[in-house]
Amino acid sequence: MIFPKEVEIIEVGPRDGLQNEAVFVPTEKKKELVRKLSKMGVSRIETASFVHPKAVPQMADAVELATFSNELGIDFIALTPNLKALSRAIECKVPQIAVFVGATETFNQKNIRFSISDSLEECSLVFKKAKACQMKIRAYVSMGFSCPYEGNVSYEQVERVVRHFVETGADEISIGDTNGQANPRIVYERFGQLKEDFPETIFVAHFHDTNLFAYANVVAAIQAGITKFDSSIAGLGGCPFSPGATGNVSTEGLVKLFHEMNIATGIDVNAMNEAAIFAKELLNK
């Protein structure tokens, strides 16, 4: 087995971790969470989402969080699923945007009420405008392994979305085990095939821990050549359109795993633990 000397961890807790919380988390508390996360040494933080507040009320304070993230001087990511959202992100001087498309038609329709084709067309417009503004682009493929509505997701379904993202200029592509049903074998095979078919593309692994396979899946992804991972402080998160899905793989667990394997993360463990305690207290977990 071959292991990398270092990996990159992208913290998604403030956005992906909080978006599904039913009770609104005060903006000042979110800012404090971002501040604590910024002291960990994590390379990037996904702090905001410019989705319509009616769709995700928890993200209604995206402008305030983006402004605060700029004031902190951190490299941050904001979700911008359409052109209207992108325009707001541009006004807030967001350095890196993110879009998402599900690999299955059913999930896509339930999530954003768009077909995959329509979603990809919208993403193309978002990419073009974002590139003109010198913004970095991260693209999520949701349901990259399995779907709660359609079952196992084929490689061809994932490849269709990935190919479009590659051809339209995504800087990196995060493959999501959105409902936490992946296993190490399919993770290894899927990422291996993706890297073979798209050798110049930067891929990120995004796991949920529904079946307690997340950390085994991380090791499988490493063996397939993946060195970038999304995680959420205190394992916060879930997906409102994926029944039964639990939180993201926790940042603390991921860092502990990598450090035990002598793989550098650049993360300050003490600062990370402080942020994790704050996150748990924030949501009474």
Percent of the chain as helix, strand, coil, to the nearest 5: 45, 20, 35
Residue linked to tokens 């951190």: 74
Report yes or no: 139 and 165 within 8 Å, Cβ to Cβ: yes
Tokens of 132: 């003109």
Active site residues: 239
Residue linked to tokens 């061809």: 156
Q: Is 129 helix (H, G, I), strand (E, B) or coil?
A: helix
Orientation angle between helical segments 214-223 and 251-260, nearest 10 degrees:
50
Q: How far apart, in whole angstroms, are the C-alpha atoms of residue 166 and residue 250?
A: 28
CA-based nearest residue to 138, from 244, 228, 28 = 228
